[in-house]
Amino acid sequence: MTNPAAAVASSRAHPDAATKAEATSPKPRRRRSIRRAWIGWLFIAPFGVVFLVFLVAPLLYAFYLSLFSKGLATGTVFSGLGNYVKAFSDPEFLGGVWFVIRFAVVLIPIQMAVSLAAALVLDSLTTRLAKFSRLAIFVPYAIPAVIGTLMWGFLYSPVFGPLTSIFGAFNQSAPDILSSGNIFGGLLNVVVWQWAGYYMIIIYAALRGIDPSVYEAARIDGANPRQIALRVKVPMISSALVLILVFALIGTLQFFTEPQVLKPIANGAITASFTPNIYAYNLAFQFSQFNYASTISFALGIVVFAAVYIFLFTTRKRRGGFSS
């Protein structure tokens, strides 16, 4: 934290005589703006250093490592983009990518539907129950993904969970959610549970920001509450929706924690290359293939960028969520 201190020192060293002199002559004003510019950089510098060291440097280093490959006989040799050719034809990597894309395509609409419906209902009610449910829906966001997944893992389990006795009461055998056929749905439920509240709060806050006179105008035009919700409210918060869709997409493509935590109890349903991140983790820490693991990480970054770009392009909201 030396930089803010430097900023203090510098502003003390040059007492603000310049500020007062600016009105009299143009020269000091220019000097002042140069000094200001320099101070602007000082404010940004501490973050800039962290940004360079922990974002730019790992990216460059990963790219550098990905250009080499390590063989038993050959040692480490430069292989150019060979690792990428290998990755994008590696059935394990492609299988993981295919899984996270499928997962995102199913997850995101469900999650949006739940959080949008909850936010719309909460926006139209002012009862105590509504206030309480707003908190109840949000609480899972405050819970670590590891703990959330552990809890659902227990609930899914035929030994600990309620499913066996619930289905037993109807003389049915409970489905094994942790089997390879059902794990998709099991993970889907964990993620919806964990994140729907966060998205709901963002949508809700955006809804509260709409000027209610708009609703009045719609009502005078004969719109019923449902039409107001779908034709007025939803379009007015579209930039919030695009923002959280992008967040959901980025988050889902990086899927790691939930499957990794369920893995020990899922009896082989979650493989070593279940998602690209799990694959990269196992390549690095089980098989010590650091060059190829870097390639997978970097390739995943490329996939995420491409997916986000395609998404923003197709929703034609390229400047929707983020603008400076």
* Positions in 42-61 near other proteins (CB under 8 A): 42-44, 46-48, 50-51, 53-55, 57-59, 61
Q: Which of 97, 228, 244, 269 binds other proteins (CB under 8 A)?
A: 244
| Residue 264 CB neighbours (<10 A) | 9
* Binding segment toward other proteins, per CB under 8 A, in 68-76, 88-96, 104-112, 291-299: 291-299
Which neighbouring-strand residues pair with 71?
75
Largest CA distance in the chain: 92
The answer to whether 151 contacts other proteins (rule: CB under 8 A) is yes
The answer to whether 2 contacts other proteins (rule: CB under 8 A) is no
**Residue 238 is encoded by which pair of tokens?**
């579209």
The answer to whether 38 contacts other proteins (rule: CB under 8 A) is yes
The answer to whether 268 contacts other proteins (rule: CB under 8 A) is no
* Binding segment toward other proteins, per CB under 8 A, in 81-89, 91-99, 105-113, 159-167: 159-167
**Residue 131 is encoded by which pair of tokens?**
């206030």
CB of 100 to other proteins, least distance (A): 11
Question: Residues in contact with other proteins, total (CB under 8 A)?
Answer: 124
CB of 6 to other proteins, least distance (A): 9
The answer to whether 146 contacts other proteins (rule: CB under 8 A) is yes
CB 114 within 8 A of CB 248: no
Residue 267 DSSP code: T
As to burial, measured by CB atoms within 10 angstroms (0-12 exposed, 13-18 middle, 19+ buried), residue 187 is buried
The answer to whether 19 contacts other proteins (rule: CB under 8 A) is yes
Q: Which of 107, 119, 202, 270 binds other proteins (CB under 8 A)?
A: 202
* Footprint (CB under 8 A) of other proteins, residues 212-241: 212-213, 215-216, 237, 239-240
- CA-CA distance, 174 to 170, in Å (whole number)? 10
* Binding segment toward other proteins, per CB under 8 A, in 30-38, 67-75, 89-97, 103-111: 30-38
Which neighbouring-strand residues pair with 70?
76
Q: Which of 119, 187, 245, 300 binds other proteins (CB under 8 A)?
A: 300
The answer to whether 142 contacts other proteins (rule: CB under 8 A) is yes
| Residue 13 CB neighbours (<10 A) | 7
- CA-CA distance, 133 to 301, in Å (whole number)? 37
Find tokens 């609930």 and name the residue. 155
* Footprint (CB under 8 A) of other proteins, residues 111-140: 114, 117-118, 121-122, 124-127, 129-130, 132-133, 135-140
- CA-CA distance, 200 to 244, in Å (whole number)? 10
| C-alpha torsion angle, residues 251, 255, 258, 260 (rounded to 10) | -150
286-313 core/surface letters (b: 16 or more CB in 10 A; e: else): eeebbbbbbbbbbbbbebbeebbeebbe
* Binding segment toward other proteins, per CB under 8 A, in 78-86, 87-95, 104-112, 276-284: 276-284
The answer to whether 4 contacts other proteins (rule: CB under 8 A) is yes
Find tokens 């922990």 and name the residue. 54
Q: Which is nearer to other proteins, 73 or 159 (CB)?
A: 159
